[in-house]
Amino acid sequence: MARAKKNPEQDIAARYQKLLQVTRFRPSQSNRNQTLSIEAASDRGRILFSNAFRRLQSKTQVFDQELNASVRTRLTHSLEVASVGRYLADVAAREMLKKGWLGPLGNEETLDVSSAVVTFVEVACLMHDLGNPPFGHFGESTLQAWFENHQDKFCAKFSKNKRTKFESLYRDFRHFDGNPQGFRIATKLQWVKDEHGYNLTHTQLAAMLKYPWTPDHVGQKRDGKTIKKAGAFYSEEEVIKGVYSALEMNVGTRHPLAYLMEASDDISYCLSDIEDAFEKNVIRGHDFVDWLRKKLGGTTSGAVSKILSNLPEDADATVENESRFAWYVKFRTDVTNTLVNEAANLFIQHQEDILKGLYFDLLDRCDTAKQILGAVKDFSTEHLYTSRVVRQRELLAFEVITGILDRFGALLDLPSNQAYELITGKHVKNPEHILAPTLCSFLGKKQVLAYRYATDVNSGTSEEREFGEWFARTHLLVDYVSGMTDDYAIASFQRLYAGGPRYI
């Protein structure tokens, strides 16, 4: 008797049944009906009502914040990415519904799943910059450089048999990045009642992991692509394993919804940085349009040619009853609409690779995106990110973050028992550093709770407990500094140094 042929669409639907779950590390104690869309909406609320999300309103995107809020912050950028993400997920979900991947058409539960998919992507977009430190990417680089410069000093604190493990765990700081810090905030630091942070659904946590691996993978090749960033620190390695076990995924593979979140960010940031540069008078419209025409004028792509044809001859000319950059709003809209539809189509076309969790960017497989966004990125690299206004902010960022780390770094020199007592609010006679009690008083309460939990669950020999405590303490310092807004970091620096120069 001949075997019935397998229906590939049914296989995909079966995979999505496992990938889209209401489960959490701590089961919800609510009496609500736990449908997928309601739990996804609950995840959204947990993010939107949190102080970690609110702090993004005072963190740099590219340019200095202004009193009239004319340029983007990390918060407004995240909201824009979420808008594009919702749009992209909605287009993709419609196609998924037609193919039966989310369940039988006409079934109320299927529509609920489709709605949840859109929300999961939206929330992943809202969270994608959650862990960014003050002063944007230069803040990340400054944190990395400080820990790079202090590695030998800190390594010398431990016995030789701990050196290899030290170097491995220390990658969390040498490769500090907003992505793993955001995952750490989501899973631990947004402490409400226990160590699970926001206690988001496993699906939501997987959807935010653009890079589902720890820093030891940086520099390695995966699926033909060099890994440049990690998505989680070693301190959250067990959390990733728990998420992937719940969703029956192989650790190190991407969740399908992470591809949509990544594409949404790529579309948004390229276009918004240009718009902010216009607002700051860093670039002229004519120069940008001229660049695009020179870079893309010979393209054979119909979509690119159509977008170029709508650009004005004189982008800096005044047009009656129009704002100065009305042409750019149309350009941004045209590019967004085109790339959203192409990305959604690619998501459907490459579903086999996506369900394998391969490491690739959807827009890397889109010629239109590579051409347009490639030209925009090249222009930004040459004219925006090297502009005087950005460079001046980098000088400030370096002085402020390095200065704060220099002062608070004294806490990393304390003996383990003394550090634990001081950080958890106990009195210590004659501390090793005179400022230690004062410095500890500034640390965030939620961050200290996460430190205390990580330290208290340590077991093993005295040396192993001290080793674990030191790394928990170092994460506590990074949690504190990276969680600062730009303004709070500047105020902290001034408070630490009384407005004067540093002498450390």
State residue 65 phi and psi, 5-degree precision. -70, 150
Which pLDDT belongs to residue 244? 97
Which pLDDT belongs to residue 503? 38
Quick: pLDDT tens for 386-445.
888 888 888 999 999 999 999 999 999 999 999 999 999 998 887 878 899 999 999 999
The domain ranges of the chain are 12-133+176-256, 266-387, 389-497
Q: How far apart are CA 244 and CA 232, in angstroms?
A: 13
Q: How many residues does the chain have?
A: 504
Which pLDDT belongs to residue 300? 65
Q: How far apart are CA 318 and CA 324, in angstroms?
A: 6
Which pLDDT belongs to residue 236? 96
User: In the structure encoding, which two tokens stand for residue 9, read together?
Assistant: 């669409």
CB atoms within 10 A of CB 443: 19
Which pLDDT belongs to residue 293? 92
Residue with tokens 């808008």: 83
- Element spanning 491, H or E: helix 486-497
Candidates 137, 132, 126; CA nearest to 62 is 137
Q: How far apart are CA 56 and CA 79, in angstroms?
A: 10
Q: Could you say which architecture CATH assigns to the domain 12-133+176-256?
A: Orthogonal Bundle (1.10)
Give the per-residue SS3 of 406-418: HHHHHHHHCCHHH
Which pLDDT belongs to residue 433? 84
Candidates 261, 228, 252, 225; CA nearest to 343 is 261
Q: How far apart are CA 178 and CA 398, in angstroms?
A: 17
202 Cβ contact list (under 8 Å, min separation 6): 21, 23, 24, 25, 242, 243, 246, 247
What CA–CA distances, in Å, run from 245 to 13, 50, 203, 255, 455?
19, 27, 11, 13, 25
| Average pLDDT of the residues of the chain | 91
Q: How far apart are CA 246 and CA 202, in angstroms?
A: 7
- Element spanning 6, H or E: none
Write the DSSP string, 43-55.
Answer: HHHHHHTSHHHHG
State residue 226 phi and psi, 5-degree precision. -75, 130
Whether the domain at 12-133+176-256 and the domain at 266-387 fall into the same CATH topology: no
Q: What is the largest CA-CA distance in the chain?
A: 87
Q: How far apart are CA 231 and CA 229, in angstroms?
A: 7
Q: Give the residue ranges of the chain where pLDDT is below 50.
A: 1, 500-504
Q: How far apart are the first and last CA of the chain?
A: 82
Global confidence as pTM:
0.94
Which pLDDT belongs to residue 391? 86
Q: Which residues pair with 225 in a beta bridge?
A: 222
Helix spans in 318-461 (H): 326-349, 351-355, 367-383, 388-408, 416-423, 436-442, 445-456
User: In the structure encoding, which two tokens stand for residue 471, read together?
Assistant: 């790394």
Q: How far apart are CA 5 and CA 197, in angstroms?
A: 45
Which pLDDT belongs to residue 384? 85
Q: Which residues pair with 60 in a beta bridge?
A: 73
Q: How far apart are CA 91 and CA 348, in angstroms?
A: 10
Is 3.30.70 the CATH number for 266-387? Answer: no
Which pLDDT belongs to residue 4? 54
